[in-house]
Amino acid sequence: MTDVSARPLSIADPQFWWRPLADRMADFAELRAAGPFTRAEITHPLTGEQEAFYAVTRFDEVNEISRRPQTFCSGRGSTSILDMPAEALEFFGSFITMDDPRHARLRGIVAREFTPRRLQGLIDSVDLICAELIDAICEQGEVDLVESISAPFPLLVICDMMGIPRSEFRTVLDATNVILGAGDPEMTGSDDLLGALFGAGMTLTNLMGELAEERRRNPTDDLTSALVHSATDEELLAPEDLGPFFILLAVAGNDTTRTATSLAMDFLGKHPDQRRVWQQDLEHVTATAVEEIVRYASPVVFMRRTATEPVTLSGQDFDEGDKFVLFYGAANRDPLVFDDPEQFDVRRHPNPHVGFGGPGPHFCLGAHLARRELAIVFRQLLTRLPDIEPAGEPEYLQAAGIPLVGGIKRLPVRFTPC
């Protein structure tokens, strides 16, 4: 087992995550080659104490831990490496921070609205939202892709899906920027990180509470109405569960598309041969290109699992309470699974990536929607603005620790005005 303290820049050091994706992945390749588990420590900001965890960087171990929720649980903390109060974890993570049977019940209520058939009705509106955003920039010639497309596109889809009026979009965007900002002072607008996070969470919770109350009186055909009206009370989300679910949807529901869109544009700029392959055959290449974007970008950096009992994995013994941090980007470049894993290949097949999580009960509920959004946004960008390209390097978030989402703040792009 590797000890991360021997490295010049630890994965627990915030500055590790301020660097370009390629640099981080190069370091992860060294860790992965040394062994499937890397022991590391991170400082708890409230207690000042060191908390140990095991970084999991190989594909097989990420999958094995993911498919064994009874042995490797989420309820002690999945979106936070540090131990936090259960109430705080559920406030920001909803059912992804829970274990069965509660997890299964809440996820089941929501899952009936996220089937491909139910989401099919959204596709027309997703196309229209994307077209509106491109309409707004197509005459400018140079814009920040994050501000103009990547950030508003998936969030507008979610707001329309939930029935959030467009007048509240800026409120939702600002709040999600704080939560997705990973502690970057520019995104939080404050040195008080915890205060900013809980303030943003309360903004989203209060907004959802008001909307849910309105939909109870006057139901429509949006997702909020579906969640507060049902034939039996057991199929409803309780009022106290609605706010955390909306935080989860507004944050996790847009982070994959938001970050993947920005990083993919950077990938296409650095791999012009792959751009040509895709652009010359959008119909047949888009499906595999989207999967490769998710593999190569791995927007969700990690999820944590905790051992519920002593366990042996890959020949190594672990104790009850040991923390495992599943680094999806490292697993998605495991050379034991992917041929030439550092190559961005829009026709890669097969592509069994874990960009939406490993197998098991916590696989991403919105994976189908995220795939459709990425397919739509690049189909429109590569046809309506055919020469769009990066005009500079991406500016990454300056995370306060290990970020849940490895996002970027800005990416300038240029294109021929039309």
Quick one: pLDDT at residue 5? 43
Q: What is the overall mean pLDDT for the chain?
A: 91
For residue 271, give every residue at least 6 positions away whose Cβ sits within 8 Å of its Cβ, in sequence order, or none. Answer: 344
For residues 261 and 255, give the distance between their C-alpha atoms in angstroms, rounded to a whole number.
10
Angstrom distance (rounded) from CA 111 to CA 131: 28
- pLDDT over threshold 60, residue 232: no
The total of other beta-carbon atoms located within 10 Å of residue 389's CB is 14
**Of the given ranges (219-228, 277-286, 303-312, 332-341), which has the lowest mean pLDDT?**
219-228
**Helix, strand or coil, per DSSP, at residue 50:** strand
- Which is it for the CA torsion 148, 151, 152, 157, positive or negative? positive
pLDDT for the residue 1: 57
- Residues 32-55 have pLDDT tens digits of 999 999 999 998 877 778 899 999
Among 52, 61, 60, 39, which Cα is nearest to 311's? Answer: 61
Between CA 249 and CA 139 the distance in angstroms is 32
CA atoms within 13 A on the CB side of 251: 29
Mean pLDDT of 396-406: 89
Give the pLDDT of residue 42: 92
Question: What is the per-residue pLDDT for 242?
Answer: 86
**H or E element, residue 302:** strand 302-307
In this structure, are residues 267 and 393 in contact, taking their beta carbons and an 8 Å threshold?
no
Give the tens place of pLDDT for each residue, 105-125: 889 888 887 777 777 777 778
Angle at alpha carbon of residue 392, lines to 387 and 397, rounded to 5° = 120
Tell me the three state secondary structure of residue 48: coil
What pLDDT score does 4 carry? 46
Label residue 205 by pLDDT band (50, 70, 90): very high
Q: Which of the four pLDDT bands, split at 50, 70 and 90, describes residue 139?
A: very high
Q: Where are the domains positioned within the chain?
A: 2-414
Angle of the 282-297 helix axis to the 239-270 helix axis, nearest 10: 110
Write the single-letter amino acid at 360: G
Provide CB contacts within 8 A for 289, sequence distance 6+. Answer: 278, 346, 347, 378
- Closest by Cα among 252, 246, 251 to 206: 246
41 forms beta bridges with: 52
Q: Is the separation of the CB atoms in 38 and 4 below 8 Å? A: yes
136: enclosing H helix or E strand: helix 123-137
Task: Establish whether the linkage from the previous residue to 101 is cis, with ω within 30° of 0.
Answer: yes
- 216 pLDDT exceeds 50? yes
Cβ atoms of 409 and 396 closer than 8 Å: yes
Q: What's the pLDDT at 155? A: 94
Distance between CA atoms of residues 130 and 373, nearest Å = 9
**197-208: average pLDDT:** 91
Mean pLDDT of 164-172: 94
- Amino acid 181: pLDDT: 84
- 185 prior amide bond cis, ω within 30: no
Which of residues 381 and 85 earns the better pLDDT score? 381
Q: Where are the beta strands (DSSP E) in 131-279?
A: 142-144
**Is 94's pLDDT higher than 60?**
yes
What phi and psi values does residue 121 have, to the nearest 5 degrees? Answer: -65, -15
| Whole-prediction pTM | 0.94
CA distance 49 to 66: 28
Q: What is the pLDDT of residue 59?
A: 98
pLDDT-derived band at 238 (thresholds 50, 70, 90) equals confident
Average pLDDT over residues 72-81: 93
Average pLDDT value for residue range 46-67: 93
* 221 pLDDT higher than 80: yes
| Topology adopted by domain 2-414 | Cytochrome p450 (1.10.630)
Helix (H) or strand (E) holding 40: strand 37-43
Encode 289-319: b = buried (16+ Cβ within 10 Å), e = exposed: bbbbbbbbbbbbbbbbbbbbeebebeeeebe
Tell me the backbone φ, ψ of residue 325, rounded to 5 degrees: -105, 110
Amino acid in position 367: A
